Amino acid sequence: MPFLKKIALFASLPEASLLTIAEVAGLQRFSNHAYLFREGEEPDFVYCFIEGGVVLVGSGADAQEAVIEFFGPGESVLLPAALLGLPYLVSARATSDGQALLIPAYKLRQLIDQDVALAAQCARVLSGHWRVLISQLKEMKTQGATERLARFLISKAEHETGAATLVLPGMKKEVATRLGIKPETLSRTLRKLKAYGVESDGDSIRIASIERLAALTRPPASQDRPNR
């Protein structure tokens, strides 16, 4: 199982642990827009993406969807539900064709109490996930739609300076709810960002200068604020 090494959860584990995992892991292909699992279900597996990715969505009341986050190759989802044996709080919908490694939840619950390396790595990966959510929550509570979109785009760019081109990790309407806004508002906000050097064509985006865009997110701070 060469690709175990590509999954953050397993990359740093010693050979012994890898072997045990390889024994219980299964491979699954999935196609775009397919649901890998749904909110409320009992957790059967942890999903680790080798290729392609998913979006985690929570379905609020009404028919509203709340996109929590996008996940791609090397990342894992559902560790929390699997470890605690509690129903999923979110559904996962594929954002492309791909394949994932599935680790049975009950196996993981056994292994984690026996294998220090695995347990410690789980704790570290979960810590990272926690920090991602904290950042998102902070943004939701303190920034407006424009700033959030700007930071989102920057976070999807590889480098942090100069120009960048990137592809949105999902449909525009998914990106919209990830940002906590409606698709219509995303459309308009994206257009507003043209003035800051952001060109969009379908699902690919070109940022002329990341610095310029970043300047948007922290208000001038000092004396003069031209307009706004």
Residues of the shown chain interacting with DNA in the complex, contacts defined by CB under 7 A:
144-146, 171-173, 180-191, 200, 203
How far apart CA 77 and CA 119 sit, in angstroms, is: 16
Binds 212: which of its own copies, DNA, none (CB < 5-8 Å by kind)? none
What SS3 class is residue 48?
Answer: strand
When asked if residue 174 is in the footprint of its own copies (CB under 8 A), the reply is no
When asked if residue 115 is in the footprint of its own copies (CB under 8 A), the reply is yes
Which one of residues 61, 201, 202, 228 is an interface residue with its own copies (CB under 8 A)? 61
User: How many chain residues interact with its own copies (CB under 8 A)?
Assistant: 51
Q: What is the DSSP string of 63-111?
A: T-EEEEEEE-TT-EE-HHHHHHT---SSEEEESSSEEEEEEEHHHHHHH
Query: Least separation, in Å, of the C-beta of 4 and its own copies?
Result: 19
Binds 198: which of its own copies, DNA, none (CB < 5-8 Å by kind)? none
Which one of residues 123, 163, 167, 215 is an interface residue with its own copies (CB under 8 A)? 123
Segment contacting its own copies by CB under 8 A, of 22-30, 121-129, 164-172, 184-192: 121-129
- CA proximity to 91, closest of 75, 67, 72: 67
Q: 90: which 2 tokens? A: 């979110």
Q: 128: burial class by Cβ within 10 Å (0-12, 13-18, 19+)?
A: exposed
Binds 89: which of its own copies, DNA, none (CB < 5-8 Å by kind)? its own copies
Binds 105: which of its own copies, DNA, none (CB < 5-8 Å by kind)? none
Query: Least separation, in Å, of the C-beta of 189 and DNA?
Result: 7
CB atoms within 10 A of CB 113: 9
Binds 149: which of DNA, its own copies, none (CB < 5-8 Å by kind)? none
When asked if residue 218 is in the footprint of its own copies (CB under 8 A), the reply is yes
Beta strands 164-167 and 54-59 are unpaired
- 56: which strand partners? 69, 92
How far apart CA 16 and CA 207 sit, in angstroms, is: 45
Query: Least separation, in Å, of the C-beta of 13 and its own copies?
Result: 12
Cα four-point dihedral sign 84, 88, 94, 95 = negative
| Chain residues in the site for its own copies (CB under 8 A) | 58, 60-62, 64-68, 79-81, 83-84, 86, 89-90, 112-117, 119-120, 122-124, 126-131, 133-143, 177, 180, 217-219, 221
